[in-house]
Amino acid sequence: MNYRTGIFFVLASGVLWSFHGTIIRQLEDAQAWTVLFWRSLAMLPVLWVVVSFRSSGAPVKALRASGWIGFLGGLGLVAAMGGAIVAFQTTTVANAAFLLAASPFLAAIIGRLILKEAVSTQTKIAIALAMFGIFVMVKDGLSSGALVGNVAGLIAALGFAFFSVTLRWSKAGDSLPVTFIGAGLAVLISGVFAVVTDQGLAITYSDLAWCVLMGTVTLSGGKLLYTLGSRTVPSAELTLLSNTEVLLAPIWVWLILGEVASFGTILGGSIVLVAIAYSALSRVRRKLPPIAATPV
Report if residue 211 sits inside a domain. yes
Q: How many CA atoms lie within 13 A of 265 on its CB side?
A: 26
Cα–Cα–Cα angle for 56, 170, 156, nearest 5°?
A: 100
Report if residue 131 sits inside a domain. yes
Number of domains in the chain: 1
Report if residue 296 sits inside a domain. no
Contact criterion met (CB below 8 Å) for 63 and 177 = yes
Q: What's the whole-model pTM score? A: 0.85
Report if residue 163 sits inside a domain. yes
Report if residue 48 sits inside a domain. yes
- Domain residues for 265? 3-286
Report if residue 30 sits inside a domain. yes
Report if residue 71 sits inside a domain. yes
Cα–Cα–Cα angle for 119, 274, 249, nearest 5°?
A: 115
Integer CA distances (angstroms), 33 to 27, 197, 223, 279, in order? 13, 9, 22, 34
pLDDT tens for each residue of the chain, 296 residues long: 677 888 888 889 889 999 999 999 999 889 999 999 999 999 999 999 999 988 888 888 888 888 888 899 899 999 999 999 999 988 888 888 888 888 878 888 888 888 887 777 887 888 888 888 888 877 766 656 577 888 898 899 899 888 888 877 877 667 788 889 999 999 999 999 999 999 999 999 999 999 999 999 999 998 888 888 877 776 556 666 777 888 888 889 989 988 887 888 888 888 888 887 787 777 666 655 555 544 55
Report if residue 49 sits inside a domain. yes
Integer CA distances (angstroms), 232 to 9, 213, 239, in order? 10, 28, 14
